[in-house]
Amino acid sequence: MKKIFKPALSAMCFAVLLSLVIYACKKPTEGLELIIKTDALSKSPTLIEYVNANPRGTAIPAKMAVTITDPLKVVQAEDGATTIFTAYNGLLPLSLIRTATPSVATPVKFTITAAPAGFLSVVSTINITSDTAAINTVVPLIEYARPPAGTSVLVTTTALTGGTSGLQTLNIPATAPTEACTITIAAGTQVKDKNGSVINANSLVSNIVHLGTTTQDAYNAFPGGFNPSNIIGPDGSAIPKGATFVTAGLVSIRMLAGGTSGTAVKSFSKPVTVNMGINPKLINPLTGVLVKVGDVIPIWSLDEDSGQWTYEATAKVIKNADGSLAIVFSVSHLSAWNVDWYGTACGSSLSVTVKISGLPTGLGLDGYELFLATANDQYLGGLYTDNSWSHTVTLYNGFMATLPVVPANLGNVKMVIYSRRGDPTSKISESALFNPCSTSSIPVSMTAPLIPDLIKSHINLVAKCTSKQIVAYPTAWLVLKDVTDPTAVITANVHMVNGIVDVKLISGHTYTLGTVYNGRSFSSGSFKVDRTSNPQIPSSTGLSGTAVYDAPSQTLNINTLFTLTSCG
């Protein structure tokens, strides 16, 4: 959403104010307010929501700078900025400038890099194919101190002598009994900076993350995702339509020479050896049977600044001395290293229809994940429709969507529905396995959860600038948090147009409201939703209001306001 108090609106504001001045010369009037609706200032509203990949981990930093690589120069922050981007409490609202023309044939594609202190940096690729779609994408971040299930971390300091290492064996804790990972640095190995120069330092700080294949949490936190569009293939050229990964595991290696504020290590004088354990229950998508000794898997590296994947080599599955399966490969430079089978596009699309028995007409269930998966439940691809494209979707009976690209050469796949929690216990339903290249449509059925007593709610949000007597009706994202039941899947993040949105809230539950606007985060305190109490909505950080139930229309009218004292 475009920030309404910045130069982008200066011409419009000048014209309106000039007319007011002319009128005031004829008949002086006090207390005039400039009222601005903001829906025409941008298009393709996009909310990136950063969360800790471990629900019990540390909160995401309140203010987090991110870097956006936008070749078309059409992406803007909610305040109109096009060069400086900041996520507040994990929320990064974006949009496209008014002249952008995204479509399926000519999508707007950009990358977002987030690297908060204490977390593994992550690069996200966003594709926008509609100028009206509202996109809400959740990006899990791995915290070094509290990694999610199926992920392990090693943070350690070892000795160097003038930038040269002795023999070092770095043992990363196992993500599961069968998925240990060991990194060996040979004696005499020199560490080098981005220019290829040896770093003269006496200590080496290593931050290593290993993602296995035994939990959905690890899959969700996979850096760069499983559908890379910026990818260099085995022949050294770009794969035109991107690829789809089926992973056997990933290790991200980051090192600093000279302490925690030292120089980033980018390469070595000798290759470093990685021995990565392989889950014996993993199905090889090329053979359709369990992975075994001798299976060949490609090795890829990820440039964690640009988001580009590059094919490096292949390696064979071996058996370690303890009988466990593993794959061994050499690392010449530092990045995320990924052991993945891959497939290119079939050249056809896949239509998906969701049938939900027991769901009342007109009711949607928010916060579900509907995606293409391997037999191992690994994510292969999400979906977008005319009104939604995101990792999470709102499902209703008869929901239809299209996956425009489906992978070839990765065996049979299935459609899977997960609830918002995204862990194995929350898988709701799945289709039968099918061949994606010979199937044009697939149904998925599920039973509706127990539907609580819902109240139709009409929310009106106003932003008031006291210093300039400006009132704005924001076109922005509103974050609705169910304090009573944080796992409820009725309503989560919703997009307001000119400060208005209609939702259904659970009677008897307590909620908070929040939004990011004008470079600040605003939120309310808790208030209970019912048909009788008509509560005042207290302010937590600047957002407050009232909730009044109207019996004739059976609607809870929620009127909220936040105030800006400085609008320049």
pLDDT value of residue 383 = 62
Residues 6+ apart with CB under 8 A from 4: 36, 38, 41, 470, 472
**Eight-state DSSP code of residue 214:** S
Given 113, 141, 169, the domain boundary residue is 141
Return d(Cα 421, Cα 149) in angstroms, integer: 13
Return d(Cα 120, Cα 147) in angstroms, integer: 10
Do 405 and 466 sit in the same domain of this protein? no
pLDDT value of residue 557 = 97
Do 93 and 173 sit in the same domain of this protein? no
**What domain range includes position 110?**
43-141
CB 297 within 8 A of CB 317: yes
pLDDT value of residue 340 = 95
- Phi/psi at 216 (5° precision): -70, -30
pLDDT value of residue 471 = 81
pLDDT value of residue 256 = 96
pLDDT value of residue 489 = 54
Could you identify the residue written with the tokens 């004739």?
552
Positions in the chain whose pLDDT score sits under 70: 1-41, 177-178, 383-392, 420-425, 487-491, 566-568
Given 141, 166, 190, the domain boundary residue is 141
Do 251 and 335 sit in the same domain of this protein? yes
Do 465 and 519 sit in the same domain of this protein? yes
Do 375 and 309 sit in the same domain of this protein? no
Do 354 and 277 sit in the same domain of this protein? no
pLDDT value of residue 30 = 43
Which residues, in sequence order, are bridge partners of residue 125? 111
Do 260 and 366 sit in the same domain of this protein? no
| 195 found inside a domain | yes
Return d(Cα 414, Cα 383) in angstroms, integer: 14
| 20 found inside a domain | no
CB 289 within 8 A of CB 283: yes
Shortest CA distance to 248 belongs to which of 325, 307, 304, 185?
325
Do 504 and 480 sit in the same domain of this protein? yes
pLDDT tens per residue across span 84-113: 899 998 989 898 998 899 887 888 888 899
What's the CATH number where 252 sits? 2.60.220
pLDDT value of residue 37 = 57
Which residues, in sequence order, are bridge partners of residue 494? 478
Do 120 and 205 sit in the same domain of this protein? no
| 404 found inside a domain | yes
Q: In this structure, is the dihedral angle defined by the CA atoms of residues 287, 290, 291 and 297, taken in order, positive or negative?
A: positive
Q: How many domains would you assign to the chain?
A: 4
CB 443 within 8 A of CB 319: no
pLDDT value of residue 15 = 38
pLDDT value of residue 80 = 75
Do 304 and 435 sit in the same domain of this protein? no
| 58 found inside a domain | yes
CB 220 within 8 A of CB 124: no
Do 173 and 300 sit in the same domain of this protein? yes
Do 371 and 296 sit in the same domain of this protein? no
